[in-house]
């Protein structure tokens, strides 16, 4: 409820009133009513909603009055409608995310209709390929072998398969600083360490539910959760994470088209043909395409909700780059404020 103040002089026949006050509060060029004069000594409210708080010390014979302004019902209704529309949008977003999670699990893991085999009919060759790709994680073993270090021999796989696998895993790594600094992470009651750990291996199987749960209403009594050691490492070293993840994604693209030149896999045209056949016949590769599409949606969404975590001087450029896959997350990680600076 808004209040407006009026100064009334008992030695004059006029009221001093701001021009925006409605005339229902007081009448110009007329003395105060007996009800208002009586209220001046008691501080009571008259029938018109006029309250007298007492005489002004600056004006010996003046009386300071307060008038309650009427509710602007139109504005209040607009604000209420906007709040309801915002809540409805959140509910639609959550419903869409849970539907996407159901489709992701059913289509990619259980049903036999997508390219490749479902998880309950997976072939031994697919398992062997997955183990080989995991051993070539971030190209560490192939690069070690290339410089003469042969502690463990890297499995020789098609460079397109290796490039696609490491590109998605490198992009997943870049989500870590963003998840651990997400302003809505307190809505998620589980462990962020486990969430991101599972995301590194099962990608959007766990990220989609997080995106839905972070839209829940804030607790009436929010509890502060201290970052874990992993969370502190990922946030305090976010610039290193951003550089490493960006390099891995870049090397993955180059490896896809130029890696293993001695493996007789052909040039760019032949590799592209293999890529098309690969995602059309292998469930793992097909799932990676789903992951890339979902990451391209979630990346600008999450960064847009957390631009306040970026250094002020870099906020504009990060806001623009967030729509570019991988690049936006690299920019966020490199330009993020440290935890200590955000708290101060």
- Is pLDDT at 34 greater than 60 in this prediction? no
| Closest residue by Cα to residue 255 from 243, 241, 265 | 265
- Is pLDDT at 52 greater than 90 in this prediction? no
Residue percentage of the chain with pLDDT more than 70: 72
pLDDT (0 to 100) of residue 131: 94
pLDDT (0 to 100) of residue 47: 43
Question: Quick one: average pLDDT of 48-55?
Answer: 45
Q: How far apart are CA 242 and CA 234, in angstroms?
A: 10
| Closest residue by Cα to residue 61 from 31, 99, 86, 98 | 31
- Is pLDDT at 303 greater than 50 in this prediction? yes
- Is pLDDT at 32 greater than 90 in this prediction? no
What confidence tier does 219 reach under pLDDT thresholds 50, 70, 90?
A: confident
What confidence tier does 11 reach under pLDDT thresholds 50, 70, 90?
A: very low
Question: Quick one: average pLDDT of 315-330?
Answer: 97
- Is pLDDT at 224 greater than 70 in this prediction? no
Tell me: the pLDDT tens digits for 143-177?
999 899 999 999 999 999 999 999 999 999 999 99
What confidence tier does 264 reach under pLDDT thresholds 50, 70, 90?
A: confident
87: left (phi over 0), alpha (psi -120 to 50) or beta: alpha
Question: Quick one: average pLDDT of 299-328?
Answer: 97
Rounded to 5°, the CA angle 258-331-342 comes to: 150
Q: How far apart are CA 181 and CA 239, in angstroms?
A: 13
Q: How far apart are CA 188 and CA 39, in angstroms?
A: 55
Angstrom distances, CA of residue 258 to CA of 159, 188, 261, 267: 8, 42, 6, 8
Segment 108-114 long-range contacts (CB within 8 Å, at least 24 positions apart): 108/283, 108/286, 108/287, 108/290, 114/283, 114/286
Q: How far apart are CA 274 and CA 271, in angstroms?
A: 5
Question: Quick one: average pLDDT of 201-230?
Answer: 86
**Lowest-confidence pick of 12-26, 73-87, 123-137:** 12-26
pLDDT (0 to 100) of residue 263: 84
Of residues 333 and 263, more confidently modeled: 333
- Is pLDDT at 298 greater than 70 in this prediction? yes
- Is pLDDT at 37 greater than 80 in this prediction? no
Tell me: the pLDDT tens digits for 175-194?
999 999 999 999 998 999 99
Question: Quick one: average pLDDT of 213-231?
Answer: 83
- Is pLDDT at 97 greater than 80 in this prediction? yes
- Is pLDDT at 85 greater than 90 in this prediction? no
Tell me: the pLDDT tens digits for 234-260?
999 999 999 999 999 999 999 999 999
Q: What is the pTM of this model?
A: 0.76
What is the average pLDDT score of the chain?
A: 82
């Amino acid at each position: 409820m808004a209040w407006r103040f009026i100064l009334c002089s008992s030695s004059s026949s006029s009221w001093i009133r701001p021009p925006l006050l409605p005339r229902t509060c007081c009448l110009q060029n007329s003395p105060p009513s007996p009800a208002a004069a009586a209220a001046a000594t008691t501080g009571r409210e008259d029938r018109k909603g006029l309250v007298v708080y007492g005489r002004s010390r600056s004006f010996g014979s003046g009386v300071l009055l307060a008038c309650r302004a009427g509710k602007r019902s139109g504005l209040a209704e607009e604000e209420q409608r906007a709040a309801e529309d915002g809540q409805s949008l959140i509910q639609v977003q959550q419903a869409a995310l849970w539907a996407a999670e159901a489709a992701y699990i059913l289509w990619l893991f259980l049903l036999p209709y997508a390219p490749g085999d479902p998880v309950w009919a997976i072939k031994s060759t697919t398992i062997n390929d997955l183990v080989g790709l995991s051993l070539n994680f971030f190209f560490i073993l192939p690069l070690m072998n290339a410089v003469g270090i042969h502690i463990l021999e890297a499995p020789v796989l098609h460079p397109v398969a290796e490039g696609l696998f490491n590109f998605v895993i490198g992009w997943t790594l870049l989500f870590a600083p963003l998840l651990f600094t997400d302003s809505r992470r307190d809505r998620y009651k589980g462990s962020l360490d486990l969430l991101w750990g599972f995301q590194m291996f099962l990608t959007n199987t766990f990220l989609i539910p997080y995106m839905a749960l972070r839209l829940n209403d804030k607790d009436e009594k929010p509890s502060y959760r201290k970052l874990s050691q992993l969370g502190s490492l990922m946030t305090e070293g976010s610039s290193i994470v951003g550089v490493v993840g960006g390099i891995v994604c870049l090397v993955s693209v180059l490896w896809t088209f130029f890696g293993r030149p001695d493996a007789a896999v052909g040039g760019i045209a032949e590799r592209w043909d293999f890529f098309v056949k690969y995602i059309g016949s292998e469930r793992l590769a097909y799932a990676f395409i789903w992951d890339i599409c979902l990451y391209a949606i979630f990346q600008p969404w999450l960064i847009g909700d957390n631009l306040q975590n970026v250094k002020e001087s870099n906020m504009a450029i990060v806001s623009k780059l967030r729509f570019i896959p991988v690049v936006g997350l690299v920019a966020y990680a490199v330009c993020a404020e440290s935890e200590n600076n955000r708290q101060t």
